[in-house]
Amino acid sequence: MSETTAQPVTIDVDASQHVSGAWLVPNNANACYVFAHGAGAGMHHASMVTMADELALAGIATLRYHFPYIERGSKRTDPPALCHATVRAAVTKARELAPTLPLFAGGRSFGGRMTSQAQALSALPAVRGLAFFGFPLHPAKRPSIERAQHLSNVHVPMLFVQGTRDELAELPLLQPLVERLSAQASLYLVADADHSFHVPARSGRKDADVRREAVAAMATWIERVVRSP
């Protein structure tokens, strides 16, 4: 699959504001993932496209979408309230596009954090769980768990897929945090990967191997959540 197979859609954030989306659904889809981008790149970034392709191969449909600042061509992220509204609008659109598929949400880095904040404030309709690819627990070289305080108000299963070299989520902070979130949270560590899921050549693996591993972990988790009562 490739970027050309994704169907362009329009997502209404409110009466006057709209953002672009990309809907990719394989014939064997068994779940849908509302997939938000990171702070510095939109839904057409190569990392987003290739991840969506891998998810499709695993039977997971994706709705990628832009936050309004990317739609405007700005580099400055939107206020949280607008990001949360965009997440909700994307979830609503995904439910319209795939009303029978189990629905999950999350995303890369900033997009995953905005999704979790939206869920913590008020449950996203029909969303069964949240999956994060590189949750940004703190800024680089400024370790803290302040960005995770809202996660205790998330009452659906969560999956954190994190690289062991992620400078935005130091493991001595992340692992105890996931443990404190109890059965609601799962952590999958990708050996040698950084925040962008790149691995050094000395690891003996390529970035494509890492993407497939991350997607396989998510697919297994989704299956477990769907089968649980």
Query: 45-99, pLDDT tens digit by residue?
Result: 999 999 999 999 999 999 999 999 999 999 999 999 999 999 999 999 999 999 9
Please choose, from the candidates 97, 39, 12, the residue with its C-alpha nearest in 3D space to the C-alpha of residue 63: 97
pLDDT score of 1: 41
Say what the pLDDT of residue 21 is.
98
Global pTM value: 0.95
Q: DSSP per residue over 95-129, as a string?
A: HHH-TTS-EEEEEEHHHHHHHHHHHHHSPPTTEEE
Does pLDDT of 11 surpass 60?
A: yes
The answer to whether residues 154 and 182 touch, using CB atoms and an 8 Å cutoff, is no
Q: Tell me: the pLDDT tens digits for 103-151?
A: 999 999 999 999 999 999 999 999 999 999 999 999 999 999 999 999 9
